[in-house]
């Protein structure tokens, strides 16, 4: 039996839906100017081409066969991975039956281009190069589309529509967006391509759960070991709910979570949740790597998943300024775990204080921008904590000057409504200018100019003293007599959850 996959690329045929920016009525008139410019740009966007792909995978998950029809002749078809050609069995111009060769990761096409493409891929071998295969049950495979998807480059208006027709007992999970009202339908759109997402074929657990009104698609791969799948999916649901404690909803209305069992030996440790990452590759996927040998109850005591979910509060930033994205995720993981009741306030402040100290001691002769541009060697803590310090400074100042009416939460709320999810890569200045456009009084670009290229680490020690976060011998004590103690308490105030599964960590 074959796994038939019909893929239709529909470019420019859907309406351009304008985002509504919900902002305070007292905002400067310049913000409405930005909205008008965005409207004008959307009205002048151009439609693109229409391509169709049909993909079949055999029941043994060994070979994939693809037929692609292009609405106009295309002259450039490629795969994203340099390894893709070794798994390409054969490719033909299906109008002329002429065999096509590869040059690097591109197909060699006639000067006039082609309108139709047939090709076959050794899917099992492509999956075998991934480190997932050594621990996965062979009834399910994980393989990146970068190894098997040969296609024209997607422009901003392009969409690839995907419809899966599956045989019994076979499922598919892809890093693309589901189509409304189309069973097993997905679409691939232009994205930052921050990493290589995986497609999953075979027998695995696939479930959709509601988190703060958002349908989250969860896929749990099967390993050679027994996994308590219901408990794992419940942990994912509850942990994803932490992010809704920022502004009451999940940042992406259609995110995908993939849970990958890795055991102990693969990562050289025995942590319950040793690793996670966010991949923005045709959609937003959160990959959580679990040690299935540890009890699921231990997963609740980790911060990895909350950190990864916190990345969705921002668009994808260029790697040279990831100190901002990593820092904001570090800051929010601690705030959210306190708001959810998994951390006490004092424990969360201890975590932040210790992180700031590690950041202060890391690469003291480099600025955040310089440390990130040069790589993580010797500067990892500066990269991960400089942005957290800046986030704290901004959050406190917003709350102080507005008497609590504005905060970093409200800025991120407005950011999500205007601009997320985003298909492009942002710079740090792009992000902070956008933040400032959502405020009555700008703040973020001033902070960027003050700290981004300044040697050393943002000095938050005076601010911590004002907040009543005082350390004696490295141990944090909270003082409610401090000048800004009310703001400190508001940062981590408990918020209601839909579940009481998680326990306090002290």
Per-residue pLDDT tens for 291-312? Answer: 999 999 999 999 999 999 999 9
**CA atoms of 155 and 137, how far apart (whole Å):** 37
Percent of the chain with pLDDT over 70: 87
Query: What pLDDT score was predicted for residue 160?
Result: 79
Identify the H or E element spanning 463.
Answer: helix 461-467
Query: Beta strand pairing status for 284-290 and 275-280?
Result: antiparallel
Query: What pLDDT score was predicted for residue 126?
Result: 96
Query: What pLDDT score was predicted for residue 205?
Result: 95
pLDDT per residue over 2-11, tens digit each? 444 444 443 3
**CA atoms of 393 and 484, how far apart (whole Å):** 12
Whether the model clears a pTM of 0.95, i.e. scores above it, the answer is: no
Among 68-72, 324-328, 396-400, where is mean pLDDT lowest? 68-72
How far CA 384 is from CA of 235, 319, 325, 435, in Å, comes to 25, 13, 8, 21
N- to C-terminal Cα distance for the chain?
54
Query: What pLDDT score was predicted for residue 155?
Result: 82
What is the average pLDDT across 149-170?
84
Q: Is the pLDDT of residue 104 over 60?
A: yes
Q: Is the pLDDT of residue 173 over 50?
A: yes
pLDDT per residue over 316-357, tens digit each? 999 999 999 999 999 999 999 999 999 999 999 999 999 999
Which residues share a beta bridge with 173?
200
CB atoms within 10 A of CB 12: 16
Kindly report the three-state secondary structure assignment for every residue of 472-485.
ECCEEEECCCCCCH
pLDDT per residue over 225-256, tens digit each? 989 999 999 999 999 999 999 999 999 988 99
More confident position, 98 or 40: 98
Query: What pLDDT score was predicted for residue 6?
Result: 43
Query: What pLDDT score was predicted for residue 485?
Result: 98
Cα radius of gyration (the chain): 24
Query: What pLDDT score was predicted for residue 190?
Result: 83
Query: What pLDDT score was predicted for residue 57?
Result: 86
Residue 200 near residue 259 (C-beta atoms within 8 A): no
Query: What pLDDT score was predicted for residue 85?
Result: 98
pLDDT band at 159 (very low <50, low <70, confident <90, very high): confident
Query: Beta strand pairing status for 284-290 and 256-261?
Result: parallel
Among 303-312, 384-393, 490-499, where is mean pLDDT lowest? 490-499
**CA atoms of 501 and 240, how far apart (whole Å):** 13
**CA atoms of 404 and 411, how far apart (whole Å):** 13
Query: What pLDDT score was predicted for residue 329?
Result: 98
Query: What pLDDT score was predicted for residue 48?
Result: 65
pLDDT band at 39 (very low <50, low <70, confident <90, very high): very low
**CA atoms of 439 and 18, how far apart (whole Å):** 21
What is the average pLDDT across 75-92?
97
Query: What pLDDT score was predicted for residue 165?
Result: 78
Closest-CA residue to 173 (of 135, 211, 142, 150): 142
Query: What pLDDT score was predicted for residue 194?
Result: 80
**Domains identified in the chain and CATH numbers:** 1-201 (no CATH), 204-313 (1.10.390.10), 314-491 (1.10.390.10)
pLDDT per residue over 423-452, tens digit each? 899 999 999 999 999 999 999 999 999 999
């Amino acid at each position: 039996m074959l796994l038939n996959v019909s893929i239709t690329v529909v470019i420019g045929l859907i309406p351009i839906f304008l985002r509504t920016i919900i902002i305070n009525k007292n905002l400067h008139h310049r913000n409405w100017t930005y909205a008008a410019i965005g409207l004008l740009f959307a009205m002048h966007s151009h439609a693109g081409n229409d391509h169709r792909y049909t993909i079949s995978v055999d029941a043994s998950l060994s070979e994939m066969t693809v037929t692609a029809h292009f609405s106009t002749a295309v002259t450039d078809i490629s795969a994203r991975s340099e390894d893709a050609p070794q798994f390409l069995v054969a490719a033909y111009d299906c109008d002329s039956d002429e065999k096509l060769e590869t040059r690097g990761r591109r197909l060699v096409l006639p000067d006039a281009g082609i309108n139709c493409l047939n090709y076959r891929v050794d899917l099992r071998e492509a999956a075998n190069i991934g480190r997932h295969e050594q621990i996965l049950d062979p009834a399910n495979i994980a393989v990146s589309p970068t190894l098997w998807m040969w296609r024209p480059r997607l422009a901003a208006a392009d969409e690839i529509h995907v419809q899966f027709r599956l045989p019994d007992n076979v499922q598919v999970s892809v890093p693309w967006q589901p189509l409304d009202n189309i069973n097993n339908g997905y679409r691939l759109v232009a994205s930052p391509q921050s990493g290589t997402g995986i497609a999953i074929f075979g027998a695995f657990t696939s479930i959709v759960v509601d988190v703060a009104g958002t349908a989250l698609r969860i896929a749990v791969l099967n390993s050679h070991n027994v996994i308590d799948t219901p408990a794992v999916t419940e942990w994912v649901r509850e942990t994803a709910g932490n992010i809704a404690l920022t502004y009451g909803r999940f940042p992406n209305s259609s995110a995908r979570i993939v849970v990958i069992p890795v055991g102990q030996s693969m990562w050289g440790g025995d942590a319950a949740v040793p690793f996670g990452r966010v991949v923005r590759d045709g959609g937003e996927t959160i990959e959580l790597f679990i040690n299935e040998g540890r009890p699921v109850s231990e997963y609740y005591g980790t911060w990895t998943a909350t950190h990864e979910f916190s990345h969705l509060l921002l668009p994808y930033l260029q790697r040279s300024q990831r100190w901002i994205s990593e820092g904001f995720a570090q800051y929010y993981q601690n705030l959210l775990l306190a708001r959810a009741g998994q951390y006490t306030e004092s424990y969360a402040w201890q975590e932040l204080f210790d992180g700031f100290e590690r950041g202060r001691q890391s690469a003291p002769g480099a600025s955040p921008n310089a440390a990130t541009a040069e790589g993580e060697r010797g500067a990892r803590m500066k990269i991960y904590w400089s942005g957290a310090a800046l986030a704290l400074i901004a959050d406190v100042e917003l709350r102080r000057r507005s008497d609590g009416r504005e905060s970093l939460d409200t800025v991120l709320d407005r950011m999500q409504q205007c601009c997320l999810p985003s298909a492009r890569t942002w710079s740090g200045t792009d992000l902070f200018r956008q933040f400032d456009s959502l405020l009555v009084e700008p703040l973020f670009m001033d902070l960027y100019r003050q700290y981004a290229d300044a040697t050393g680490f943002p000095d938050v020690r005076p601010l911590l003293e004002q907040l009543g976060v005082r350390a004696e011998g490295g141990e944090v004590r909270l003082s409610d007599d401090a000048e800004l103690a009310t703001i400190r308490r508001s940062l981590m105030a408990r918020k209601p959850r839909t579940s009481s599964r998680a326990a306090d960590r002290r």
